[in-house]
Amino acid sequence: MRGAAGGANLLALRSHNTALVLDLLRTAGGAGISRLELAERTGLTPQAVSKITARLRGEGLAAEAGRRASTGGKPRTVLRLVPGAGHALGVHLDRDELRAVLVDLDGTVVAERRAPLDLGAGAETVLETVARAAEELAAEGLGHLVVEGARVPGAALAAAPTLLGLGVALPGPLDHVRGVLHRITGFPGWDGYPLREALERRLGVPVVVDKDTNAAALGLAVGGAGAEEGSKAGGEEGSKAGGERGSGAGVERGSGAGVEVGGAGGERGSGAGAEAAGAGARGGSFAYLHLGTGLGAGLVFGGGVHRGARTGAGEFGHQVVQLDGPPCTCGARGCIEALCLAAVARGDLAEAARVLGTGAANLAGLLDIDLVLLGGRTVAAAPEAFVHGVGAVLDARARREGGHDGPVPVRLAPAGARGVAEGAAQLLLAPLFGRGEGG
């Protein structure tokens, strides 16, 4: 799936309509879906669907999944996505460790790595650690041997025909569009570093860079997080909006505005797949709060990650809640991150959860979100304490305000310890299915 120049050659993936079809094939799973169903659910003509599916089959992205009885005439052929036809690498760079995964088109983890990391060790050391992990995963999961000793940089990745590229997620702030880092909290030496460009030069494949919280939120959104709450909140209005968008999405039949992941890695699809289902499945909003070595948030509205014009959204941990409070590594005082991590350090998880809940309540009041999801290694170490503590603060807020909707639900994010790494891989995969776009 890669052209001679090393950029992703997506061919059949270059139209909104193809993204719609691919997403429906993906969500149908192994049972598959018929061409007639694809036409009905996208609003495309049967002829257009036949052309798209023929291209996908020719590229090895779709295959027959058997036949299904029809109400009249001969049985319908059903099609399925071929998960192994494409892969993506996802890397989570935390302040003290690296987690990396190789996933297929379904998002299933094929191989994974975990290694210690010092984010402050310097660019060359960090890049070498990323390159080593990526090449090892490609060798293990895709069957390409890594040449020991005097190896050609990036050879193992460039030789993998199904590899779409590498997604990298790390603490912010950063510029997602340009792939340039800013003053990472606690590691100001990264300010202005062109991480995407450096990794593309080193590895020879497309690279996308984003904040760890955004990547995790994207992975959760693709997996359907917030769908139930969005359906409840959206009601008939959401269903109506989803129906209008789903039927209208296939009106444009040209391929000019394609879903592309080029060498720059920053241009992604138009979000056409977001119209493939109703608002009940995509219209929910949620905040993913990540508490580990730092504290941040990933925000999802209408199925898309909200990054803001400068990738500045979600700097949740640095809202000041205590004037003249304890100093934070960002340079301010009284930040939620500083208060929360201090409570964790002294073993007061109840206080840490209360502080986190205060920030979550502020967020719920400001953005009227449907759901709060908690993740990160600190939460994973004591999930009940944090889910209960944060939930109690949101419950108290709901009682003060009255109304009949009740508190915003608080749940543990289902992705676990490798959720950020899997979300990083989705930075490459999601656009192929028209997913993950936001502001």
pLDDT digits (tens, 9 = 90+) for 375-394: 999 999 999 999 999 999 99
pLDDT value at position 351?
98
pLDDT, tens only, 34-84: 999 999 999 999 999 999 999 999 999 999 998 887 766 678 899 999 999
* Contact yes or no for 175/182 (Cβ under 8 A): yes
**What are the DSSP E strand ranges found in 48-153?**
62-68, 76-81, 87-93, 97-104, 109-116
pLDDT digits (tens, 9 = 90+) for 308-326: 988 889 899 999 999 999 9
What is the predicted pLDDT for the residue at 214?
Answer: 97
What is the percentage of the chain residues whose pLDDT exceeds 90? 68
d(CA 379, CA 357): 13
* Whole-number Å distance between alpha carbons of 102 and 155: 17
The answer, yes or no, to whether residue 370 has pLDDT greater than 90, is: yes
Band (pLDDT 50/70/90 cuts) for residue 228 is low
Local confidence band at 284 (pLDDT 50, 70, 90 cut-offs):
confident
Residue 336 CA neighbour count, 13 Å, CB half: 24
- Range with the poorest average pLDDT among 9-18, 101-110, 117-126, 153-162: 9-18
Mean pLDDT of 349-366: 96
Question: What's the pLDDT score for residue 156?
Answer: 67
For residue 113, give both structure tokens.
């790595």
Radius of gyration of the chain (CA): 22
* The pLDDT of residue 236 is above 90: no
Residue 280, pLDDT score: 31
pLDDT the model gives residue 435: 84
Task: Please say whether the beta carbons of 29 and 53 come within 8 A.
Answer: no
Mean pLDDT for the stretch of residues 194-221: 96
Q: Of 56, 428, 91, whose CA–CA distance to 267 is shortest?
A: 428
Pairing mode, if any, of strands 163-170 and 207-211? Answer: parallel
Highest mean pLDDT among 173-187, 294-308, 340-354: 340-354
How far CA 60 is from CA of 11, 68, 133, 426, in Å, comes to 12, 22, 28, 20
Which comes out higher in pLDDT, residue 151 or 269? Answer: 151
Comparing 276 with 343, which gets the higher pLDDT?
343
Inform me whether the pLDDT recorded for 264 exceeds 90: no
In this predicted model, what pLDDT tens digit does every residue of 188-202 receive, in sequence order? 999 999 999 999 999
Q: Does residue 285 carry a pLDDT above 70? A: yes
> Average pLDDT, stretch 387-411?
93
What are 166's strand-pairing partners?
A: 89, 207
- Per-residue tokens: 308: 């803001």
Q: Which residue has the higher pLDDT, 190 or 276?
A: 190
Instruction: Compute the mean pLDDT over every residue in the chain, rounded to the nearest whole number.
Output: 83
Residue 419 has what pLDDT?
95
Average pLDDT over every residue of 219-243:
59
Please determine, for residue 147, whether its predicted confidence score (pLDDT) is greater than 90: no
As given in the structure block, the two tokens for residue 415 are 């992705």
Q: What is the pLDDT of residue 146?
A: 41
